[in-house]
Amino acid sequence: MSTSARELRFDDFAMWVELEDGRTLGVPLAWFPRLLHATPEQRLHYEISAGGLHWDEIDEDISVDGLLAGRGDVTHRHADAA
């Protein structure tokens, strides 16, 4: 079963995603470096789709299923020092 985002808001440290089923997720901005480093205005220019959230200006896509699974940004894997 999948649920969609209904509303999105930010504070200084987190993104708050209100879901259609009534739950609200608080996600640290540190999980998503593009959002962390975006301006407050850039963060507000998002689109909500059936599967997630999209910010065209900062090239960020976040799935609601990924948030529910506790996954942050999977495009930047941290490599161990060799």
Q: Residue 63 is which amino acid?
A: S
Q: Per the domain annotation, does 44 fall within a domain? A: yes
Distance CA 52, CA 3 (A): 9
Residue 17 and residue 5 in contact, taking contact as beta carbons nearer than 8 Å:
yes
Rounded distance, CA 50 to CA 7, Å? 12
In a domain, 48, yes or no: yes
Domain residues for the domain of 57 are: 5-68
pLDDT tens-digit profile of 26-77? 999 999 999 999 999 999 999 999 889 999 999 999 999 999 999 888 775 4
Give the predicted TM-score (pTM) of the model: 0.84
Establish if 9 belongs to a structural domain: yes
The CATH code of the domain that includes 23 is: 3.30.2020.40
Supply 29's token pair: 């901005």
Count of the separate structural domains present in the chain: 1
Q: Which of 44, 43, 16, 14 is nearest to 30 (CA)?
A: 14
**For the segment 9-18, what is each residue's pLDDT rounded down to a tens digit?**
999 999 999 9
